Amino acid sequence: MNPLPEAPPAIRDAVHDWLDRFAACVREVDYAAAYPFWHPRILAFGTVQAVVEGLEPFRDRQWDSVWPRTSDFRFRLDATRVLASPDGGMAIAIAPFTSTGYHPDGTPFDRPGRTTLVMVPNPAGPEAWVAVHSHMSLAKGVPPDSHARRPVKAR
């Protein structure tokens, strides 16, 4: 059987850097800083979200329902796998994440999950790679609702 098309170190490192910097946007609830990481016509879905197309619907239906209501979001880079096409024209990140959710009474709970991102090079933008697809879902048994109310830093 053929091995998986693991990304070469330069692509893997660039995707890890992307994940780390994007996670900082989530922690800061900074939508404006996060926009350059995504293709304007992103196709995305999540644990309780149907497929949406476009950055604004993605923000309104996914980010708004998660980022202000959670904290401490990080990708587990030590457990992240990055695959890439042989020509380097596409990369896929398979990344577990951690975060903190909050029960209605404010008590915190661990909120782990996983992400699959499909990314393409972006020679014309500020980011070297942009995500064209995102699927983020919570681990089995994790409550889907979190009840923090953090402010959005920049829309």
Contact 130, 37 (CB under 8 A): yes
With respect to residue 87, please indicate whether it lies within any of the assigned structural domains: yes
What pLDDT shows up at residue 39? 96
Let me know if 18 is exposed, middle or buried by CB neighbors in 10 A (0-12, 13-18, 19+). Answer: buried
With respect to residue 85, please indicate whether it lies within any of the assigned structural domains: yes
What pLDDT shows up at residue 32? 97
Contact 7, 15 (CB under 8 A): yes
Provide the strand spans (E) within 5-103: 38-46, 49-53, 71-75, 81-84, 91-102
Instruction: State which residues of the chain have pLDDT below 70.
Output: none
The type of residue at 25 is C
What is the number of structural domains in the chain?
1
> Which domain, by its residues, includes 29?
9-138
User: What's 102's domain CATH number?
Assistant: 3.10.450.50
With respect to residue 105, please indicate whether it lies within any of the assigned structural domains: yes
What pLDDT shows up at residue 144? 93
